[in-house]
Structure 1
C-alpha cells in the first residue's frame, strides 16, 4: 500500500470507560509480529464456504488452513505476551461472557459435537484478543493492520478476476463478483471493501496518510464493491461515513469540506444517474423478491415461529453454521437468538451499546471517528448479515473500535536515585531547611 498508511501513528490521550489504564506498563512500541497475528485472525474468519474456485479446494483443506491460522495466532500472541499482561476491557469481558453462554448452550449437544468445536474456536479467538489488548493505546495501529490485511484479501479477488473473469463473476451468483482463488461470496468482498474504504477516507481527513497512497486503496476497492452489487455494504459505507464525518465537522475543516462535496456529488449522481442506480440497486430482482429481502424474510418468519423450550429461548441450541432449516439466517440478531438465545442477544446488544456509548462521550478526534464508523457499519450490517455472536470479521471490526477507544497505558515512573546527604552542597542543605 505504501505511503503513510504503514507509518506513524496518532498520539494517545483518549480516556475511556471501556478500558482502564494502568493495568500493565506500556510496551516499548507495538511489535511487528502483532500485525502477523492480526493477519492470521483475518485468515481464520474468511470462512470455507463460497463460490467455486479456479483450482478446486477441498473444504476440509480450507478448514484446516483457517483453523491452523487461529492456533498459530494464539501461539504467537502468547509468545509475544508471555507474562499475560492484558488490559481491563468491558468489550472483552462481555465477549468472554458470550463465550461462556455459548458453551452452556452447546453442552446440550442439540447442534451436535460441531457446536463444541465452534466453542473451542471462539475460545481461542477471544483469548487471542485478550493477549493483543496489551497493545491497545487509542492509536491507529490496528486500523493500519486492518486495512493492510483486507486489502491483501481484495488483491487476491482482483487477481482471480484478471485470471478468470468467468469464474470470478459466475452466473450462479447473477454475475456478481466472487473469490475465484479463495471461496469468497459477494457480501464478504463487499464488506471488506467498504470497511477499508471508510477507514482510509477517515485517515485522509485526519491527515494520517497522503492522498496518493489512499487512492491506491480506495479506487480499486470501490470498483470491487461496485462489482459485488452488495447493497448492505454500500449502505453501511455511506451511513457509517456520514456518522463518522459528522463527529468531526465541528473540529475539522477538512471534514466539513468533504461532507459538503459528498452531499453535492451525491445529489448530482442521484439526479443524473437515477435509472442506472436503481438498476444496480435492484440487481434485476422483482419488487416482491426485493421486499422480502431476497427470501430472507421467509427464513426469519419460520425461525421465529418454530417451537422452543424455555432453555432454548434463554440459551439457544448451541453454536451452529448460522442456518435454519438448511437456509442461511443472514441476520446477526436472529442467528444469535437461535444459537445463544435471549442471553446472547442481551450480551451482543450490550457490546454495541457500550462501545457506541463510550464513543459518543469522547471528545471529537480521528480515533473516535474511526470507531464510530466501525460500530455504525456493524450495526447496519447486522440486519442482513450474521456474525456478531461468533468469531467473524464483524468481531474484528468491533475489536479495532475498542482499541481506538482505549486509553494509553500508564507509563511506569522512572525512580530517581537517592543522593547521599554528604554529597549535597551546604548551600543546598540550607535551602532545604528554609
Structure 2
C-alpha cells in the first residue's frame, strides 16, 4: 500500500530546496517517524476486550501492548519534536479542556483507580496530538497513514478468517465476523472497513491513487464489512460518502459521474435485492428487538432515570468502561454524560460543531471532502457507539479531520544566494551644482 498511494507532486517541479533561484518556498516534509507515531496511536485504540482468539491472549498482555504503544507514541513524538513546536488547534484545545471534567470526576474514585489511569491515558493521547499538530498542514499525508494502518488491522482479521473460520464467525456473535488473531468485535471491524473504504474512494475521485491500488483496499474491505453485518458502519459509510462527494460535485467531473452511477446502483439494488438487503439489515432479529436497538434503549432509559448529585450532573462519575449497570452504553453522548457530565457533553458537542463549521467554510477540495466524510461518519456512529469522550478510534478520525482542515503551514525560506539590489543613480541637487 505504501507504494500504491501516490504522493503529491512537488510544486514548481523542483527536486530539492534551493536548486532554482525563482523557486517558491515550501514547508519541510513530514518525517517518517510521524507515520510510526500515528500507527502506534491506532494500535493503542484497538482495545483489549472482544471475541475469543485462536491463541488465547491474556487481557493483561493486550493492555500492556496497547498502553506501551501509547507511551512509545508520546516518546517518539517528543523525540521528533524536541522544540515542542505546535500549531494552534481548536480541536486539540477542546480535547485538553475535556481533561478538566475527567480529572474532577475521576478524583472522587467513584469508578475506582482505573478512572485515574484512564485520565492519564487520555492526557498522553492529547499530548501526542499536540506534538503531531506541527505537521498538520491540510495535506493528505495522515490520510495515507490512516488507510495503511487500518488496512493492516483488517489484513489480520482476514488472516484469522482464513486460518479458523469457526473462530472468526462464532455463534456467540450470531455468525458475525470478529477478530480471531486480535480480539476485535464486529462493530470495530465494520468501522475500520467503512472508514478506509470512504477515504480510498475519495482519493480515487481526486486522482491521488490509481484504480488498481484502490481496488486492493476497497474490495476486501467491502467483503469484511458485509461479514460483520454492522448497520451503523454501513449507514455511516453511505451517508458520509454522499455528503463528501456532494461537496465536490460543483468542482469535480469525476465526482459528478460517480454520484450519478451511485444513485443508479443504489436504485437497482433497492428494487432488485430488497428482500436480501432487508434480511441482512435485520440480522434475524425480531421487530421488537430491532426497534429497541438491540436492547440499547433499555440501558439508555435506565441511565437517564438514575438519580445524580449536582457534581455528577456537571462532571460525571469518572472515566470508566463505557457501561452502566454492567451493560454497555453504546452511545457516545450518554457515555460522556455518565462519565464527564454535562460539561463533557458541551465540550464534545463543541468539537463536532467547530470541525463541521470549519469544514463548511473551507473552499471545495479533496482534503475538505475527506474531513466532511470523517466528521459525518463519527456523528452518525455516535448514536450507537461510544468513544467521543475518551482515547478512541473516533477521536483519531476527528483528529485526522482537524489535520485536513488546518491551514497550510508557513513556508520555510530557501537557502538561495542573495541578489544584491541595484541602486538607482543618485540625482544631483541643483544646489550642489552651484
1-structure distance, mates of 2:303, 2:221: 35
Within 2, Cα distance between the matches of 1:247 and 1:131?
A: 31
- CA shift, 1:99, in A, is 1.2
- Partners of 1:74 and 1:124 within 8 A in 2: yes
- Structure 1, unaligned stretches of length 5 or more? 12-24
The aligned residue for residue 363 of structure 1 is: 363
Pair 1:229–1:416, CA change in 2 (3 A): closer
Which aligned pairs between 1:85-164 and structure 2 lie closer than 5 A?
85-164=85-164
Which residue of the other structure, out of 404, 426, 430, is the alignment partner of 2:425?
A: 430
Q: Shift of the alpha carbon at 1:28?
A: 1.6
Q: Which runs of 5+ in 2 are unaligned?
A: 12-24, 430-434
Distance 2:70 2:408 in 1: 27
The within-5 A match list for 1:268-283 is 268-283=268-283
Q: How many residues align?
A: 416
Matched, 1:42 2:42: yes
1: CA distance, partners of 2:415 / 2:162? 60
| Cα deviation, residue 100, structure 1 | 1.8
Structure 1 CA distance for aligned equivalents of residues 37 and 258 of structure 2:
34
TM-score (norm 2): 0.93
Other-structure match for 1:53 = 53
Measured in 1, the distance between the counterparts of 2:353 and 2:10 equals 25
Does the 8 Å CA contact 1:205/1:254 hold for their aligned counterparts? yes
Deviations 1:56-103 (A, max 9, x none): 000000000000000000000000000000001111100000012211
| Residues 415 and 6 of structure 1: CA distance in aligned 2, closer, same or farther (over 3 Å) | closer
Q: Higher relative contact order at CA 8 Å, sep ≥6: structure 1 or structure 2?
A: 1
Does structure 1 residue 388 correspond to structure 2 residue 388? Answer: yes
Query: What RMSD over aligned residues (CA atoms) do the two structures have, in Å?
Result: 1.9
Computing the radius of gyration from Cα coordinates, the structure with the larger value is 2
Alpha-carbon distance between aligned partners in 1 of 2:377 and 2:365, rounded to the nearest angstrom: 18
Provide TM-score, normalisation by structure 1: 0.93
1:235-279 deviation per Cα after TM superposition (whole angstroms, max 9, x unaligned) = 000000000000000000000000000000000001100000000
- Please tell me whether the aligned partners of residues 318 and 340 of structure 2 are also in contact (alpha carbons under 8 angstroms): yes
Cα 1:38–1:26, aligned 2, differ >3 Å: closer, same or farther? farther
Partner Cα separation in structure 2 for residue 63 and residue 228 of structure 1: 24
- Whether contact under 8 Å (1:160, 1:181) holds in the other structure is yes
Alignment match, 1:221:
221
Query: Aligned partners of 1:432, 1:29: CA distance in 2, in Å?
Result: 49
1:333 paired residue number: 333
Give the Cα separation in 1 of the matches to 2:428 and 2:377: 64
Assess if the C-alpha contact under 8 Å between 2:197 and 2:221 holds in 1: yes
